[in-house]
Amino acid sequence: MTEKLPSWHGTTILSVRKNGKVVVIGDGQVSLGQTVIKANARKVRTLHDGSVIGGFAGATADAFTLFERLEAKLERHNGQLMRAAVELAKDWRTDKYLRNLEAMMVVADKDVTLILTGNGDVLEPNDGIAAIGSGGNFALSAALALVDYENDAELLAKKAMKIAAGVCVYTNENVTMETLEAASD
């Protein structure tokens, strides 16, 4: 019988769109089984000359491949995030190589926030708040609870991530955050 290696766990990525700002924030913890391998990973990036921000959950090499593909789609479609995301999702679902990638992404620009999955999903949250990863539901719940009480998108995101880190063992408080000015709410 072959022993199964422990799997990589972790990541909480949260995006908040509020009062003229859009934020993507991610924790820094990378875990292998029950061991923290790295505490300060950078899972949030800027794309397309800083006009798009995104975060990933899943296998790091797979996420970097997806970021590179999204960057190429953004170049091809003049920075139109929705169109680039749909094209990436089509490739991700149909391409034999891409189909095996194990990652999810939250991406945002001044107009739209999207969750991208390997199932071909391009999902836009109704309330401007999106989250993925092992602590995603904790961060999402915290952000939804705070949204009526905290007007600053960055502060709201930081508070929600702190709550998620207090509940999810695969999430830490060492966060990376990127912010863009958003279109009018």
Which stretches does DSSP call E strand in 44-128? Answer: 44-47, 52-58, 103-108, 113-116, 122-123
Q: How far is CA 141 from CA 72, 103, 135, 155, 164, in A?
A: 33, 22, 10, 15, 9
Cα–Cα distance for residue pair 88/66, rounded to 1 Å: 8
> HSE on the CB side for 41, CA within 13 Å?
27
Question: Could you give the angle at the alpha carbon of 159 between the alpha carbons of 154 and 164, nearest 5°?
Answer: 125
Cα–Cα distance for residue pair 158/23, rounded to 1 Å: 10
Q: Which residues are catalytic?
A: 11
Cα–Cα distance for residue pair 101/106, rounded to 1 Å: 16
Which stretches does DSSP call E strand in 97-175? Answer: 103-108, 113-116, 122-123, 129-133
Two tokens at 7? 């799997």
